[in-house]
Structure 1
Amino acid sequence: MARRKKIYEGKAKTLYEGPEPGTIIQYFKDDATAFNAEKKAVIEGKGVLNNMLSEYFMTGLNTIGVPTHFIKRLNMREQLVRAVEIIPLEVIVRNYAAGTMAKRLGIEEGTQLPRPIVEYCLKDDKLGDPLVTEEHIAAFGWASQQDMDDILSLALRVNDFMAGVMYGVGIKLIDFKIEIGRVYDGDFQRLIVADEISPDSCRLWDIASGRKLDKDVFRRDLGSLTDAYTEVATRLGVMPKGSTPMARPKLIN
């Protein structure tokens, strides 16, 4: 079997050429990073959980008419997705104050915001993904005004879907981050949700206890990240109760 060509390797995923033009295979790693990769670890089974949870959320979005790059899950760690031109922005939707927003504005963490607030960060690890405004985005040509209108609409629709799904299983959607990609059909362009949606890219708190079920468990040394992600997957029915994610396969020379 021919070895697949690697296109890109990030902190949590590796991308390979897909079997057909316009497709990519997205591989979910067990690597965990925080504070712009200053804190690192390998957590067995994390990639499996994120793969399955991202499939769940992306499939749900596709079903309600929110377009995503997701095509299908291939196995425990890989997805087949559409190739897209990623807009160099992280789109963050906040329902409650937490993380950098709480620190930046001096708001008590967990405070419900008057309405969902959408923020944008430039995707640049070397710069620490700095917060940018729509003025910056327009001035530097990262996205047009029409793009920004479409991005805002997509982000709020994702928020409505995610918040409802999570509330139904006793989880509060504090905030989340998505990426948006461009796809082309001749001269026609449209924007779709890309990358992943998982506890790596969301803040999820148990409604009853306030217990964190997201990557803050790793950031703040609050316990087992695998247990937290498994709890989310179990509540959503992605994994049966009592099951454990498959560990990283071992290579044999």
Structure 2
Amino acid sequence: MTDHNRKAKSKMINKLIGTLFVLHVFIMTGCTNANDEDEPLYIAAASDLYHALTEAGEEFTNETGIPLEFTFGSTGLITQQINEGAPYDLFLAAHESYIDELIEQEAILVDSKHYYAIGRNVLMYEEESFLSESGQEQQYLLSDEVGIIAIANPEHAPYGKAAKETLEAWGIWEQIEEKLVYAENIRQAYQYVDSGNADVGMVALALVSDTDYEYQLVDEATHEPIIQALGIPAVSSKQEESEQFIEYLTGKRGQEILVKYGFDLP
């Protein structure tokens, strides 16, 4: 498949997914408006947060009694959904630029932006003998031992964009482009390796730090920092509850959980 066709197909699929999801959320919330006080806090979050927010959310609900419902996906696609009016109460993006974009569109409350973490990329693989030290990454990825490399789509996933920047910094992007498979989000890139459909993945440290997979940290100097931020959508009817979760996540305990899963602090 040519790069042009790949991008065109990806854009078409992304638009369809975004439209269907927004319809689903509107129907779901429309059916429950009569019992608004019992509704959970609807939180959209970048896929790298899957493990960390699962733990943090359970602890937060136990402490406050506020139920949470998470939707994980690529930051770019969630941004599109919020621009189209998806009724989320909070958005945790994998890069602050998407929060800034939504603030400019008046889709996120300007005073609600907070930094909560800095993400790290890793090379994830199964072979124990893959890399004994950094500096061998380029040669290995170029070798015949690696047939498929999974990364998140650079067009709408900050970790995918960072992966592309790293591969370009290593000077091998054009040489390995035919080996690349674009995942919808960073968690799907992880799943490609986990399922055996890719030999190597450049994925978020937060997704592999608590697994049995081998990984090599990517030098953060090879890409722009993955500075992660959050914000409250203007359509939210639960701004007070959202602020409570923000306070928790950016507070001592929330930050401890994020560090546990491999995030750096902002």
> What is the TM-score of this pair, normalised by structure 2?
0.26
Question: Greater share of helix residues, 1 or 2?
Answer: 2
Question: Greater share of strand residues, 1 or 2?
Answer: 1
Q: Which has the higher contact order (CA 8 A, sep 6+)?
A: 2
> What is the TM-score of this pair, normalised by structure 1?
0.27
